[in-house]
């Protein structure tokens, strides 16, 4: 596999899939968080710095056909500021303007193409009326697959090499994330720096973790995390469970959970996880106590009880002192930590203490030499909220993509370049 750090881009035209799917202010369309734009800068700068030029492609949002509110134009000023240079913009991807602008690019120049999802063939998902029959849906999908190949071929025709640096969409088999690579020789396709570092962090945790290895799983539902938990049970020494999913486990074990979040159809699954952990010699840590509320509001009345004694009508919304003490102790003794999902409803101040305590514990473990990987939208938000992003080893930029990779799935965007 070609590595970007070994490639010299002098005189080379690179087409680069980036993830500029950034949040925009609803009224002004100003970019409100430029993390993803900054994530792509090392790759772009390497290419232009060596005398190559860059054609950037990205999606933004979920448009159905061409919709101006999903235009990538608001990204331009932010990108120009970070790169310190003018960035050209083509208001389409496959039309005359994109083709001529790409053809005329000079060394050091950067061209941004308009939202690739303005074309339904990017995703291969036809836009059909609800009344469409299954037959019609099948036929439309097959026709769009042909167009997807054409789109990929056209884009490939703009450049000498393809670089994929969009980790956030690596789990999608789209024209610009995977199919386009088929139209380049194998030594002309590579990952950018961002994907390389995401893969290095995840592979380190999955394949060569220093022991003890602790996974902290939180968030709302067991069902969203079950595949990840199953894969981790083969690898970790300690599995910490917190957040809303706690109560499905507690109820399965016969505890009282009041009105707390519970997936009634996952009670058996929770018991299976408990016995599988035992079988594999994994220490499973469930909360001991629970911070309960009489309503799902920040101004609710609160009370702390044992986790299996939540009063009728009350909901468990955070972990409390005894749990924080035990979890913190386990994390402090770990050499590798993976954290996915908050310990409580951290969006509300009253129920954010547990998540903040865990964020601090992960940062302290990092300071003592542990490798710590944070992934999944909400645990990343919790780390950022506590200003700890630079106090942990790696914060993943890909929510769904990270989850799927850690579950052991093959991601089309990764396989397209690295192979199986
Ligand atoms: P996830 O996307 O699965 O990581 O879930 C994140 C969400 O889980 C956040 O919005 C939290 O508010 C929510 N959450 C965490 N703990 C609880 C809880 N005890 N009860 C209800 N929701 C929770």
- Non-local CB neighbours of 269 within 8 Å, separated by 6+ positions: 222, 226
- pLDDT at residue 256 greater than cutoff 80: yes
Q: Which residue intervals of 62-192 are DSSP H helices? A: 75-83, 96-103, 120-123, 134-156
- pLDDT at residue 267 greater than cutoff 90: yes
The residue whose C-alpha atom lies closest to atom 1 belonging to ligand 1 is: 219
- pLDDT at residue 334 greater than cutoff 90: yes
Q: What number does the ligand 1 atom closest to the CA of 225 have?
A: 3
Centre of ligand 1 to C-alpha 393, Å, is: 24
- pLDDT at residue 40 greater than cutoff 90: yes
Q: What does CATH list as the number for 2-191?
A: 3.40.50.1260
pLDDT interval class at 109 (50, 70, 90): very high
How many Å apart are CA 63 and CA 335, to the nearest integer?
43
- pLDDT at residue 236 greater than cutoff 80: yes
Q: Name the helix (H) or strand (E) containing 264.
A: none
| 302-306 and 289-293 beta bridge pairing | antiparallel
**CB-based pocket (< 6 A), ligand 1:** 219-221, 224, 243-244, 261, 316-317, 341-342, 344-345, 347, 376, 378
**pLDDT at residue 19, as a whole number:** 96
Q: What number does the ligand 1 atom closest to the CA of 224 have?
A: 3
Task: Give the residues across from 13 on adjacent strands.
Answer: 53
pLDDT interval class at 398 (50, 70, 90): confident
- pLDDT at residue 328 greater than cutoff 90: yes
**pLDDT at residue 384, as a whole number:** 87
Tokens 């979040």 belong to residue: 261
Q: Which residue intervals of 253-352 are DSSP H helices? A: 267-280, 321-332
- Dihedrals φ, ψ of 238, to 5°? -130, 135
CA 143 to chain centre: 30
Question: For the residues of 16-82, what is the DSSP string, one character each?
Answer: EE------B-TTT--BS--HHHHHHHHHHHHHHHTT-EEEEE---S--SS--GGG-STTHHHHHHHH
Of the chain, the percentage scoring pLDDT greater than 70 comes to: 100
- Dihedrals φ, ψ of 319, to 5°? -85, 160
The burial class, CB within 10 Å (0-12 / 13-18 / 19+), for 303 is: middle
Residues of CATH 3.40.50.1260 domain(s) within the chain? 2-191, 200-406
- DSSP annotation of 351: G
**pLDDT at residue 208, as a whole number:** 96
Catalytic site residues?
A: 36, 221, 377, 400
**pLDDT at residue 373, as a whole number:** 97
Strand order from edge to edge, sheet including 283-285: 283-285, 238-241, 213-217, 336-340, 371-374, 394-395
Centre of ligand 1 to C-alpha 354, Å, is: 12
The residue whose C-alpha atom lies closest to atom 17 belonging to ligand 1 is: 244
Token digits of residue 235? 């690898």
CA 382 to chain centre: 14
**pLDDT of 19-32, one tens digit each?**
999 999 999 999 99
Q: What number does the ligand 1 atom closest to the CA of 347 have?
A: 12
Mean pLDDT over 50-76 rounds to 96
How many Å apart are CA 130 and CA 128, to the nearest integer?
6
- Non-local CB neighbours of 281 within 8 Å, separated by 6+ positions: none
Task: Give the residues across from 47 on adjacent strands.
Answer: none
Q: What CATH fold (topology level) applies to the domain 200-406?
A: Rossmann fold (3.40.50)
pLDDT interval class at 376 (50, 70, 90): confident
Centre of ligand 1 to C-alpha 346, Å, is: 8
The angle at the Cα of 143, spanning 142 to 145, to the nearest 5 degrees, equals 65
Mean pLDDT over 167-183 rounds to 97
Cβ contact 305:289 at 8 Å? yes
How many Å apart are CA 304 and CA 20, to the nearest integer?
43
Instruction: Report the SS3 class of residue 342.
Output: coil
pLDDT interval class at 399 (50, 70, 90): confident
- pLDDT at residue 344 greater than cutoff 90: yes
pLDDT interval class at 143 (50, 70, 90): very high
Mean pLDDT over 326-332 rounds to 98
Centre of ligand 1 to C-alpha 388, Å, is: 20
Q: Identify which has the larger pLDDT, 33 or 88.
A: 88
Tokens 């050209």 belong to residue: 88
Cβ contact 220:244 at 8 Å? yes
Kindly give the interhelix angle for 75-83 and 35-49, rounded to the nearest 10 degrees: 50
Which of 31-35, 114-118, 250-254, 367-371 is predicted least confidently? 31-35
The angle at the Cα of 392, spanning 417 to 406, to the nearest 5 degrees, equals 40
- pLDDT at residue 335 greater than cutoff 80: yes
- pLDDT at residue 377 greater than cutoff 80: no
**pLDDT at residue 273, as a whole number:** 96
How many Å apart are CA 364 and CA 324, to the nearest integer?
14
Centre of ligand 1 to C-alpha 245, Å, is: 8
The residue whose C-alpha atom lies closest to atom 11 belonging to ligand 1 is: 345
**pLDDT of 213-222, one tens digit each?**
999 999 998 8
Rg from Cα positions in the chain: 24
- Maximum Cα interatomic distance, the chain, rounded to a whole number of Å: 70
pLDDT interval class at 380 (50, 70, 90): confident
């Amino acid at each position: 596999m070609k590595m970007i750090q070994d490639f010299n881009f002098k005189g080379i035209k690179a087409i680069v899939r980036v993830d500029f799917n950034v949040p925009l202010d609803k009224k002004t369309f100003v970019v409100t968080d430029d993390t993803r734009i900054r994530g792509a800068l090392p790759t772009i700068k390497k290419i232009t710095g060596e005398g190559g030029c860059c054609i950037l492609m990205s999606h933004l949002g979920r448009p159905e056909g061409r919709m101006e509110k999903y235009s990538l134009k608001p990204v331009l000023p932010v990108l120009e500021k970070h790169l310190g240079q003018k960035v050209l913009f083509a208001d389409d991807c496959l039309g005359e303007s994109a083709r001529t602008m790409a053809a005329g690019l000079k060394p050091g120049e950067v061209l941004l193409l308009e939202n690739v999802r303005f074309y339904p063939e990017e995703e291969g998902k036809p836009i059909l009326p609800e009344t469409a029959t299954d037959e019609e849906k099948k036929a439309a999908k097959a026709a769009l697959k042909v167009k997807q190949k054409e789109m990929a071929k056209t884009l490939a025709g703009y450049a000498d090499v393809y670089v994929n640096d969009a980790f956030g969409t690596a789990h999608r088999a789209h024209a610009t994330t995977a199919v386009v690579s088929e139209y380049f020789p194998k030594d002309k396709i590579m990952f950018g720096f961002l994907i390389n570092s995401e893969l290095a962090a995840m592979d380190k945790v999955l394949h060569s973790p220093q022991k003890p290895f602790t996974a902290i799983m939180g968030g709302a539902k067991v069902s969203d995390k079950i595949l990840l938990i199953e894969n981790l049970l083969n690898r970790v020494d300690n599995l910490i469970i917190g957040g809303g999913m706690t109560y499905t486990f507690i109820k399965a074990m016969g505890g009282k959970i009041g009105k707390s979040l519970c997936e009634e159809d996952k009670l058996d699954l929770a018991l299976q996880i408990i016995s599988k952990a035992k079988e594999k010699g994994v220490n499973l840590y469930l909360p001991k106590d629970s911070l309960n509320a009489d309503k799902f509001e920040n101004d609710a009345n609160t009370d702390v009880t044992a986790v299996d004694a939540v009063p009728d009508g009350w909901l468990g919304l955070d972990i409390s002192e005894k749990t924080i003490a035990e979890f913190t102790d386990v994390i402090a003794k770990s050499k590798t930590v993976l954290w996915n999902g908050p310990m409580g409803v951290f969006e509300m101040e009253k129920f954010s203490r547990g998540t903040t305590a865990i964020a601090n514990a992960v940062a302290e473990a990092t300071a003592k030499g542990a490798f710590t990987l944070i992934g999944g939208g909400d645990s990343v938000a919790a780390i950022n909220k506590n200003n700890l992003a630079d106090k942990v080893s790696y914060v993943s930029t890909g929510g769904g993509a990270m989850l799927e990779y850690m579950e052991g799935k093959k991601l089309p965007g990764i396989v397209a370049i690295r192979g199986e």
